[in-house]
Amino acid sequence: MSNWPEPGRLRDVESADVYKCGRLAGTLRRDGDDVVFTYLEEYRADPETPPIAFTLPKHSEAVRTTGGSVPPFFAGLLPEGARLVAITALTRTSEDDHLSLLLAVGADTVGDVQVLPTGLSLTEPPPLFGEDPATGLRQPWIGRLGEIGFDEAWTRRLAELIEQRRQELSAPE
């Protein structure tokens, strides 16, 4: 059984653990409408550990951002375009709620930084997007789109387009 919160409950998560190269390095926490990043003292004091990012040097001061945003490095880990729209709908939050969005994708980011709800370990998170075995492509869970408010006709059309693409990719050349 997984302790991962349902995507629609991520906005209730108050804090997140930040890992660098698989090692717990810091925390992100909500403070009203602000988000605060702080290095763990053990990580910060270890001269062998790299900073999370060039823009987040290892120092003892917390980094505070306002309006629901996260520090710019973490915002850069968020998806864009259609993926952002899908994640926003799946988490039932707004595009301004960066921490909830980051928690939805933070265990599987590009690079060596992961962001997870506090207390969860770096195990395989439940997928937000499933892989289509025929194409190897990741696609939104079609069956869950209705749950998050997508129109039934749109969902049906998306399923048709995915099936069409699957057939194109599997057709002999």
**Quick one: 73 and 103 in the same domain?**
yes
What is the average per-residue pLDDT within 54-82? 91
Residue 38 within any structural domain of the chain: yes
Specify which residues 113 forms β-bridges with.
Answer: 20
Residue 2 within any structural domain of the chain: no
**Quick one: 54 and 84 in the same domain?**
yes
Tokens of 15: 């804090």
Count of domains observed in the chain: 2
Q: How many angstroms separate the CA atoms of 26 and 34, rounded?
A: 17
Q: Which residue has the tokens 């707004």?
A: 94
**Quick one: 103 and 52 in the same domain?**
yes
- More confident site: 128 or 100: 100
Report how far apart the first and last C-alpha atoms of the chain are (Å, whole number).
44
Q: Tally Cβ neighbours within 10 Å of residue 146.
A: 13
**Quick one: 113 and 136 in the same domain?**
no
Which of 36, 23, 19 has the alpha carbon at shortest distance from 109?
19
For 55-76, give one letter per residue: b (16+ CB within 10 A) or e.
Answer: ebebeeeebebeebbbbebbee
Q: Taking a C-beta distance cutoff of 8 angstroms, is the pair 163, 170 a contact?
A: no
**In this predicted model, what pLDDT tens digit does every residue of 106-161 receive, in sequence order?**
888 888 999 999 988 776 555 555 555 554 444 544 555 555 555 666 666 666 76
Residue 39 within any structural domain of the chain: yes
Q: How many angstroms separate the CA atoms of 171 and 112, rounded?
A: 37
What pTM, to 2 d.p., does this model score? Answer: 0.71
Q: How many angstroms separate the CA atoms of 38 and 16, rounded?
A: 11
**Quick one: 19 and 86 in the same domain?**
yes
Which range marks the domain in which residue 156 is found? 129-170
DSSP letter for 11, please: G
Q: How many angstroms separate the CA atoms of 58 and 110, rounded?
A: 21
Share of the chain above pLDDT 70, in %: 73
